[in-house]
């Protein structure tokens, strides 16, 4: 009999199916974005100017680099170098925290300027700009939650690696967590141009 949890390929198939659901979850928001972009494209261009391309670009580089570390940590474990794997995972988590800090600074600056959902300042703007910001908060917010979850998952996997539950011969948990983390990166790859670069 085959132990179900030893089914390496099955575990990965399951993970990919889960990633599909994440793609479609964000897909609903992308649908709204595209419909509203179609309706309010001028307002969107105006509003996007107020977003800091530097901060957004920096966050893009941070996430790409963290994805790179994540992929390397899997390679390290596959080669049996556990210490290196742990180090790379720690770097990945650190990058994720950096992303969140950066995001927090960005949001905070917006709040300072009176830009938050339902604020008077937003209500005074053209409707398309308000919609743009609503989408901005919804999409980067949901993405931020995913980053936060990623931090939790990757920290947990670090514990598993340290305890030897995840090891050279049985690393599908690490790989699946990696898949999740790359997905978070993927979504940001689309969010970045849609919010920061359509000026």
Partner 1 sequence: MAELDKRHAPHILSDRLLATVWATLVCLTAITIAVARIDLGFYNILAALSIATTKALLVIFFFMHMKYEHALLKWLLFLACVVLAIFIGLTFFDVAFRLQVRS
Partner 2 sequence: MSLTGIKAGASPRGFLSSPQDAGGLRSWIFSTDHKRIGLLYLACILTLFAAGVALGLIMRLKLITPGNDLLAPQTYNAVFTVHGVIMIFLVVIPSIPASFGNILLPLHIGAEDVSFPRLNLFSWWLYLTGAVVALVSIFTGSGAPDTGWTFYVPFSERTTTNVSVAVMAVFILGFSSILTGLNFITTIHQLRAPGMTWRRLSLFVWSLYATAWVQVLATPILGITVLLVFAERVLNLGLFDPGRGGDPLLYQHLFWIYSHPAVYIMILPAMGVISDIIPVFARKRIFGYNMIAFSSLTIASVGSLVWAHHMFTSGMSDLAVLVFSFLTFIVAVPSAIKIFNWLSTLYKGSIIVEPPLLFTLGFIWMFSVGGLTGLIQGAAGADIHVHDTYFIVAHFHYVIFGGTGLGMFAAMHFWFPKIFGRMYNRRTAAAAFWIILLGMNVLYFPMFILGLMGMPRRYYDYPAQFAQGQLISTVGSWILAMGLALMFYNLYAGVRRGAAAGPNPWGAATLEWTLPSPPPSGNFAEIPEVEKGPYDFAPDPRHD
Residue 57 or 111: the one with the smaller Cβ distance to partner 1 is: 57
C-beta neighbour count of 164 within 10 angstroms: 10
Candidate list 1, 38, 118, 169; residue touching partner 1; CB under 8 A: 38
Residue 10 interacts with partner 1 (CB under 8 A): yes or no:
yes
Which residues inside 142-171 make contact with partner 2, applying CB under 8 A? 142
C-beta neighbour count of 75 within 10 angstroms: 12
Residue 1 interacts with partner 2 (CB under 8 A): yes or no:
yes
User: Could you give the CA distance from residue 135 to residue 117 in angstroms, rounded to a whole number?
Assistant: 10
Cβ atoms 135, 47 nearer than 8 A: no
Residue 104 interacts with partner 2 (CB under 8 A): yes or no:
no
Residue 20 interacts with partner 1 (CB under 8 A): yes or no:
yes
Please work out, in degrees rounded to the nearest 5, the angle formed at the alpha carbon of residue 169 by the alpha carbons of 167 and 172.
70
Among partner 1, partner 2, none, what does residue 163 contact (CB within 5–8 Å per kind)?
Answer: none
Task: Report residue 21 as tokens.
Answer: 């659901």
- Helix, strand, or coil here: 3? coil
Give, rounded to a whole angstrom, the gap between the first and last alpha carbons of the chain.
Answer: 59
**Which residue from 90, 130, 128, 127 is spatially nearest to 110, judged by alpha carbons?**
130
Which residues inside 76-95 make contact with partner 1, applying CB under 8 A? 78-79
Cβ atoms 190, 30 nearer than 8 A: yes
Cβ atoms 91, 151 nearer than 8 A: no
- Where helices occur in 40-81 by DSSP H, the ranges are 41-49, 53-78
**Interface mask (CB under 8 A) for partner 1, residues 110-139, using x and -?**
-----------------x------------
CB of 20 to partner 2, least distance (A): 6
Residue 155 interacts with partner 1 (CB under 8 A): yes or no:
no
The residues binding partner 1 (CB under 8 A) are 2, 6-10, 12-13, 16-17, 20, 23-24, 27, 30-31, 34-35, 37-39, 53, 57, 60-61, 64-65, 67-68, 70-72, 74-75, 78-79, 127, 175, 178-179, 182, 185-186, 189-190, 192-194, 197-199
Q: Please give the residue ranges that form the binding site for partner 2 (CB under 8 A).
A: 1-2, 4-5, 7, 9-10, 13-14, 17-18, 20-22, 24-29, 31-32, 35-36, 39-40, 117-118, 123, 126-128, 130-131, 134-135, 137-138, 142
């Amino acid at each position: 009999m085959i132990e179900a949890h030893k089914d390496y390929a099955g575990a990965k198939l399951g993970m990919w199916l889960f990633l599909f659901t994440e793609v479609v979850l964000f897909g609903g928001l992308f649908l709204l974005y595209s419909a509203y972009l179609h309706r309010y494209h001028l307002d969107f261009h105006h509003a996007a100017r107020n977003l800091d391309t530097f901060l957004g670009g920096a966050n893009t580089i941070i996430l790409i680099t963290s994805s790179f570390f994540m992929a390397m940590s899997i390679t390290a474990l596959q080669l049996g170098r556990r210490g290196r794997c742990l180090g790379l995972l720690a770097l990945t988590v650190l990058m994720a925290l950096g992303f969140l800090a950066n995001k927090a600074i960005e949001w905070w600056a917006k709040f300072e300027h009176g830009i938050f959902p339902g604020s008077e300042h937003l209500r005074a703007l053209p409707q398309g700009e308000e919609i743009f910001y609503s989408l901005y908060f919804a999409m980067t917010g949901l993405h931020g939650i995913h980053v936060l979850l990623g931090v939790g998952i990757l920290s947990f996997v670090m514990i598993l690696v340290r305890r030897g539950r995840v090891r050279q011969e049985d690393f599908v948990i690490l790989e699946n967590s990696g898949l999740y983390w790359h997905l978070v990166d993927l979504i940001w790859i689309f969010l970045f141009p849609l919010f920061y670069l359509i000026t």
